[in-house]
Amino acid sequence: MSLTPDTQRRAGRPRKAVLDRASIGRVALELVDEAGDFTLPELARRLGVQTASLYHHVEGRAGVIELLREQLGHRIDAATLGEHDEQPWEQAMAAFFRSYRSVFAAHPRALPLLATSTIRSPRVIAAYDKMAAILAASGVPADRTMDVLTALENFVIGSALDLAAPEVMWEIPDDVTAPNLAAALDAQNHAARRAERAFEAGLAALLAGLSAEVEDADGRPRWQEGTDLSTPRAPPHD
């Protein structure tokens, strides 16, 4: 069968790379995992397209960073945040941040890029909106909600980096005297699980402290709008 001119043109054309936001984010994450950063020309080469083609899908470097956030956001289990009516709010928050930490620990080189850029990802914003709703329902004033969320996020990000750290983090040189630290290191159980135990201890302490501030002995809110989180409302005088 002879080929028509139109068929010949189609047969001779190279297949174009399929470019969409998901593929850009996926390849960008691969680059960051490998080198800790990316450039738009490098990303375009890896995708097999011209750099200008990226701008049809993202708003430059900042847009790619948000695609990184979306890539990781899809891997975090946010379903527990929708179940806080069936379980204590502390458990819902703890489950979310455990998943958050696990995902970011698998991609520690992405953390500096994400932690220093404005959050615009719809998926991530939706998750934080659910957490804000949980805190509001528990009695946290709106003007303190971001303080709580930021404190929890800072702790979890640090814990994610710690999970990706070397198994042995403390090594006291022979010519350095640190008897108290040495005793603490000798006394720790299962040093290989240090990061895991430290994370659970810290998360439990943060949530327990928040819970104690939120409710009094009768389960009633202790905070008033505009008060400091560290200063629970004084009980009424008899």
pLDDT at 220 over 90: no
Most confident of 2-6, 21-25, 214-218: 21-25
Tell me, what's the pLDDT at 154?
A: 93
Tell me, what's the pLDDT at 17?
A: 54
pLDDT at 217 over 50: no
| Structural domains of the chain sorted by starting position, each given as residue range(s) with its CATH number in brackets | 19-74 (1.10.10.60), 77-227 (1.10.357.10)
Which residues fall within 8 angstroms of residue 159, CB to CB, at 6 or more apart? 101, 105, 195, 198, 199, 202, 203
Span 54-111, pLDDT tens digits: 999 999 999 999 999 999 999 998 888 875 566 788 888 999 999 999 999 999 999 9
* Eight-class DSSP state of 170: -
Q: In this structure, are residues 70 and 25 in contact, taking their beta carbons and an 8 Å threshold? A: yes
Tell me, what's the pLDDT at 13?
A: 46
Provide Rg for the chain, Cα atoms.
Answer: 24
Percent of the chain predicted with pLDDT > 70: 80
d(CA 134, CA 150): 15
CA distances (Å), 159 to each of 7, 129, 163, in order?
58, 23, 6
- What residues does 215 pair with on adjacent strands? 221
pLDDT at 224 over 50: no
d(CA 136, CA 84): 12
Percent of the chain predicted with pLDDT > 90: 52
Average pLDDT over residues 182-209: 85
Tell me, what's the pLDDT at 237?
A: 39
